[in-house]
């Protein structure tokens, strides 16, 4: 019995109830597995041996007799238990580390965009990190590490994807979150030590800096290692004098201690290999090449085997819009960082707030010689909202007004220069012009930054104001949603290929 005939027979039997995702069809353990949807939800269908299908949670739909064999037909729910059983049958559904392959993260705040992301990666030699959310994003959307990973894997199954993919527990600050992510099966861990970075150095007097520096327990050891040492990078000399060493140590020493602690936990707790990334990008100032040298030398000296390092590059890296700054100056500074990453590693340079930075992608890929990782998240959310604006203008207007009322509160944890006065009055725009708001920087950032409030807001009775309506609309217009997201992510990847 061919796989195609299974789909044909099932479709004929249940044509008025379910629509089949034909690319999802897989055969294993003498059974056939594929995904379907009705007008409300998606399900896993198992046709085959009852001993196999009986393990899955769901409902039996009946039996099919094929080639004198009686096969059970079960409709299983897309839950964690069933996914675990499916992974036992198809091990390629487990995430894996990327190592030093060039890679790209597609954060999905709604948990339904993975099929579109996979389509964007087609024919691209870039490792996809399909499950990627930060602890902050999970808190703002009300999702868990497990939900994020499970939804991405179900998306892989829906498309029939059998390639490698990663799962990134992003911007983790606490060991508790690392532990949960490891237990869920993540393969990449991005440590955010920003709470330990001394970001206000410019506000301190020389005496205050000296006092802080003199209290650092490893001060003498660090001076023996670095003081008066000169490094030549790309033909330019970078020298640790007393002042520069003091300032770099004050800024990053405690942060590096936290990173070492997190790495030690993962090395002991995580079975198997993993990708380890350090995020030093959450600062108000750019990371100098000299500071980069200190950070990488110290991490290696302390036994941290890392694959990615996210620096704070020069220029303005705001959410959801293109790079603001001089691209030539960025390219010049990036050259030094890329040489350091290659010669002191090798390891990949990671670009955070990577959504829509179209003007710098070619430079980033070229200068790093493909030793790069890019992170996106909000841009896929914006493409989902674009579908809402086009297909359900009334719902979009409600979301837009709500976002305006919550913007000042939600912007507190972001660096943006959004000017709400530049956003057109939404009620004066005709329906067919609403989607154009998602092309305007200020309105893009408005919707980008307020995603958490939009998805979790409830009325007095405890009902979601928008969440269920958003999911319902995107389920109804799924093809449009997938097309929008895939096309937009492909724009990113084309400039990096």
Annotated binding site: 171, 319, 352
Annotated binding site for a divalent metal cation: which residue ranges?
171, 319, 352
Helices of type H across 275-392: 289-301, 327-343, 361-368, 378-391
Across-strand partners of 309?
278, 349
Across-strand partners of 278?
191, 309
C-alpha to C-alpha distance for 105 and 120, rounded to whole angstroms? 12
DSSP string spanning 21-57?
EEEEEEEETTEEEEEEE-SS-EEEEEEE-HHHHTTSS
Question: 483 — phi, psi (to 5°)?
Answer: -65, -45
Dihedral over alpha carbons 61, 67, 70, 72 (to 10 degrees) = -30
| Torsion region of 142: left, alpha or beta (phi above 0 gives left; psi -120 to 50 gives alpha) | left
Cβ partners under 8 Å of residue 420, min gap 6? 404, 407, 442, 446
| Torsion region of 106: left, alpha or beta (phi above 0 gives left; psi -120 to 50 gives alpha) | beta
Active site annotation includes 170: yes
| Torsion region of 356: left, alpha or beta (phi above 0 gives left; psi -120 to 50 gives alpha) | left
Number of H helices, E strands in the chain: 19, 15
Dihedral over alpha carbons 140, 141, 143, 147 (to 10 degrees) = -130
| 361's tokens | 């992608």
Q: Quickly tell me which residue has 């294993």 as its tokens.
A: 28
Written in H, E and C, the secondary structure of 456-469 is: HCECCCCCECCHHH
Cβ partners under 8 Å of residue 56, min gap 6? 44, 46, 74, 76, 81, 82, 85
C-alpha to C-alpha distance for 485 and 386, rounded to whole angstroms? 10
Q: Using the CB atoms, write b or e for 75-92: b if 16+ within 10 Å.
A: bbbbeeebbebbeeebee
Catalytically annotated residue among 277, 298, 356, 392: 277
Active site annotation includes 333: no
Catalytically annotated residue among 150, 170, 281, 410: 170
| 39's tokens | 């007008």
Task: Give the residue numbers annotated as catalytic, written as ranges.
Answer: 170, 277
């Amino acid at each position: 019995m061919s796989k195609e005939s299974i789909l044909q027979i099932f479709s004929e039997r249940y044509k008025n109830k379910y629509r089949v995702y034909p690319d999802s069809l897989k055969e294993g353990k003498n059974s056939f597995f594929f995904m379907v949807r009705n007008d409300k939800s998606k399900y896993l269908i198992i046709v085959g041996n009852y001993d196999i299908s009986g393990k899955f949670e769901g409902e039996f739909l009946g039996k099919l007799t094929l080639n004198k064999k009686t096969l059970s037909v079960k409709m299983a729910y897309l839950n964690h238990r069933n996914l675990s059983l499916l992974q036992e049958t198809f091990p390629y559904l487990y995430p894996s580390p990327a190592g030093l392959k060039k890679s790209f993260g597609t954060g999905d705040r709604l948990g339904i965009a993975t099929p579109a992301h996979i389509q964007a990666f087609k024919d691209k030699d870039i490792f996809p990190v399909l499950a990627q959310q930060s602890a902050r994003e999970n808190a703002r959307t009300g999702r868990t590490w497990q939900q994020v990973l499970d939804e991405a894997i179900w998306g892989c199954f829906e498309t029939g994807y059998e390639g490698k993919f990663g799962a990134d527990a992003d911007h983790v600050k606490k060991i508790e979150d690392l532990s949960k992510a490891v237990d869920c099966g993540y393969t990449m861990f991005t440590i955010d030590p920003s709470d330990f970075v001394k970001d206000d150095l410019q506000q301190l007097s020389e005496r205050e800096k000296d006092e802080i520096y003199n209290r650092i327990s490893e001060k003498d050891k660090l001076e023996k290692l670095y003081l008066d040492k000169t490094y030549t990078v790309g033909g330019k000399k970078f020298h640790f004098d007393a002042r520069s060493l003091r300032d770099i140590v004050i800024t990053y020493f405690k942060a590096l201690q936290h990173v070492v602690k997190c790495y030690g936990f993962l090395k002991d707790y995580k079975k198997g290999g993993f990708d380890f990334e350090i995020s030093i990008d959450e600062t108000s100032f750019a990371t100098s090449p000299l500071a980069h040298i200190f950070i990488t030398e110290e991490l290696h000296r302390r036994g941290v085997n890392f694959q990615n390092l996210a620096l704070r590059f020069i220029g303005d890296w705001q959410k959801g819009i293109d790079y603001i700054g001089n691209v030539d100056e960025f390219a010049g500074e990036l050259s030094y960082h890329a040489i350091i990453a290659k010669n002191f590693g090798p390891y990949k340079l990671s670009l955070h707030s990577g959504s829509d930075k179209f003007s710098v992608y070619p430079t980033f890929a070229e200068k790093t010689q493909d030793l790069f990782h890019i992170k996106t998240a909000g841009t896929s959310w914006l493409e989902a909202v674009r579908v809402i604006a086009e297909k359900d203008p009334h719902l979009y207007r409600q979301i837009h007004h709500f976002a305006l009322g919550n913007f000042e509160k939600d912007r507190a944890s972001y660096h943006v220069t959004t000017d709400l006065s530049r956003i057109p009055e939404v009620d004066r725009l005709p329906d067919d012009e609403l989607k154009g708001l998602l092309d305007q920087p200020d309105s893009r950032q408005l919707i980008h930054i307020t995603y958490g409030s939009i998805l979790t807001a409830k009325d007095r009775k405890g009902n979601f104001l928008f969440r269920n309506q958003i999911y319902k609309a995107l389920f109804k217009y799924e093809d449009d949603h997938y097309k929008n997201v895939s096309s937009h992510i492909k724009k990113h990847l084309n400039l990096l290929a």
